[in-house]
A and B are shown apart, each in its own frame.
Chain A
């Protein structure tokens, strides 16, 4: 989820520390694995929120966020598969730019294969909220990937222009 081995190691350590600190608060109301996963996800979310530079509540990161890319109606653009831009590297780069809440749900569902009810348990949100966040995350990813395609196209045109200008 953090896309960086050193950070992942720090967060692993922090998650285990939190486990030892908070084990007494586990009341057995859910499966231990769910509780532990929720704790680990919270550790990662806290870190991502700190990195994004603004303090937000769990509700905020799981609620629709207009600035963070609520799906717009202007959905036309190049077909990512046709332009060959939809590969692992580009997708990872785009995922890294997602807001924390979107990123967490996308990684848990589409990358790690968790179901919405499990994600809802882990993140303390409703199943509907998890589904909604996932859809918005995918739409935002498409926007980001398209921006990449457009930027590359502009770059290519500029390069072609300067090359032909040089020949004159």
Chain B
């Protein structure tokens, strides 16, 4: 059987590792200690590699909190703003399901006229503000709830930590909470102010970061 030299074997090594093994290469690997050792090492690396895989785990809650805050900040989450027409469409839709349409045709026309009058009246601005406030509450409620849940987890992880550090972290947490309360008030006072909303999301982000720090310290027992 024809055999090959070390250099030729090395040229074929990539194919060898891919499973393409010529007769000459097989003969060489059997007869050459250095190439045999090289192949054994590469096989060993290939066989050991799967042990480096880490089990897929659910990322911690703080990632989703921080991600959501960031997406909100960048305006990448589009909440459905239920405007006046949406409110009316929903209301009339419900009415039409229970009352025959022809019977309501006249009443519908009258209602449209009434709405037209209402749109020009002083109550409209107040209604718009209410919708903005409602929209802000809808958009921040899940975030706020997630933060509350993460806060409970973080605080409970601090049980074995240094009391001085714990006190300091809790003090920082209280400061951030006050900041959030201020921002929430600003958003409620000026619901259409985009800057106020940005500050609020920033405040949530700060709290998420702080909770992440607390969790890490708690986990380390520091």
Contacts and interface: CB of A to CB of B under 8 A. Distances in A.
B66 A139 contact: no
A111 B45 contact: no
Contacts of B41: 79-81, 86, 142, 145
A13 to B, nearest CB: 5
Interface stretch (B52-60, B91-99, B117-125): B52-60
Contacts of A79: 37, 40-41
Nearest to A75: B38
Given A17-B70, A81-B40, A88 B51 contact: yes
A102 interface: no
Contacts of B52: 88, 91-92, 95, 107, 111
B56 to A, nearest CB: 10
A21 interface: yes
Interface in A89-142: 91-92, 95, 106-107, 110-113, 131-132, 135, 138-139, 141-142
B48 interface: yes
Q: Which of B38, B52, B74 has the most CB of A within 10 A?
A: B52
A18 B215 CA distance: 26
Secondary structure call for the B interface = helix
Nearest to B50: A111
A102 to B, nearest CB: 12
A21 B75 CA distance: 10
B48 A16 contact: no
Given A87-B48, A138-B45, A13 B10 contact: no
Interface string A14-30: 00110011000000000
Contacts of B38: 75, 142
B37 to A, nearest CB: 5
B13 interface: yes
A76 interface: yes
A168 to B, nearest CB: 38
B67 interface: yes
Q: Which of B44, B62, B63 counts the most A-chain CB atoms under 10 A from its CB?
A: B44
A87 to B, nearest CB: 7
7 contacts: A6-B216, A12-B59, A75-B34, A77-B37, A86-B45, A88-B51, A91-B51
- In order of increasing CB-CB distance, the 6 nearest A-B pairs are A110-B49, A135-B14, A79-B37, A88-B51, A80-B41, A20-B76
